[in-house]
Amino acid sequence: MTRQGLISTLTICLIIGCSENKIENWRQIYIKQEKSRITTIQNHFEYRSSRYSLISSDSTFETFNKNHQKLGTNNTHFYKYNLEGKLIEEEYCMRTCKKPAKEIYYYDNLKRLEKTKVVVSENKEWISARYFYNNDNLLIKKIIGSNSTPTTEKYSYDRLNRMTTVTKEEFNNNVSKWLTTVDSLFYDNENNLILKKKNHIGEDLLTISKYSYQNKLLITEKDTTITKLKGYLPTPETSYHAYYFRTDYKYNSDRKIIEKITTKPDYKTPAFKVTYEYK
């Protein structure tokens, strides 16, 4: 189960289980710890007829405690830390509810993340992920999910301890078979990731992502795909394609992103733009 799938599962469970009572004590405990907050406003635009048109706007706020640790998001998703500053628990609820769902983090005697467990109720919980390390304390394997078809990710590193390959094996329910991808990662002399090659094992599909930086900030990502499979090839009518695009980023003086523009498959014509404001 992916991280996005986990959140979706929690959301479903919580919508079913939540009541309409006032905010309960579990939430107030976090709210009272708030020392600061940052609100992010996102405006989403679509490029049509040679101009940008606003299609949606939304905002989120993040709260922080006295130690400047992230405390919560929108007062619906909260984070708890131990005395060493390690994340040990998340509590999550879409609406008002007496008992939120939890994700608990467990560490081994070397303070390495060992596993995470989701607890929805007293009778419903499961291991959401397990982590495995080598003798250099580098993560070499992650198993996501606890059912009969968990997703497995394996990692390898170079002599500088930079991750060089990610092998992912997951079961695709749509086609009822296991799919494997291998990401090969390449870096520049400043240890910036500059190239990623994603090979879809058993398929005529190779995705190449190139990254450019300025002052250690990502300013451009360009994705292209080598394939003869028609289902993956763009057409003249394609406005956006997940395998053929370029994204350009802009930042403010605080090194926070303020604009993101993604192109059509021609790598020139804009398709979408997102702007960011902070308060």
- Give the DSSP letter string of 183-194: EEEEE-TT--EE
As given in the structure block, the two tokens for residue 258 are: 């303020």
pLDDT range class, residue 97, cuts 50, 70, 90: confident
**pLDDT of 11 higher than 80:** no
Q: Is 6 in contact with 16 (CB distance < 8 Å)? A: no
Give the count of beta carbons closer than 10 Å to the beta carbon of residue 94.
17
For the stretch 51-64, pLDDT in tens is: 999 999 999 999 99
The model carries a pTM of 0.86
Which residues share a beta bridge with 73?
62, 77
Averaged pLDDT score across all residues of the chain: 91
pLDDT range class, residue 18, cuts 50, 70, 90: very low
Q: Is 56 in contact with 65 (CB distance < 8 Å)? A: no
**pLDDT of 253 higher than 70:** yes
**pLDDT of 210 higher than 60:** yes
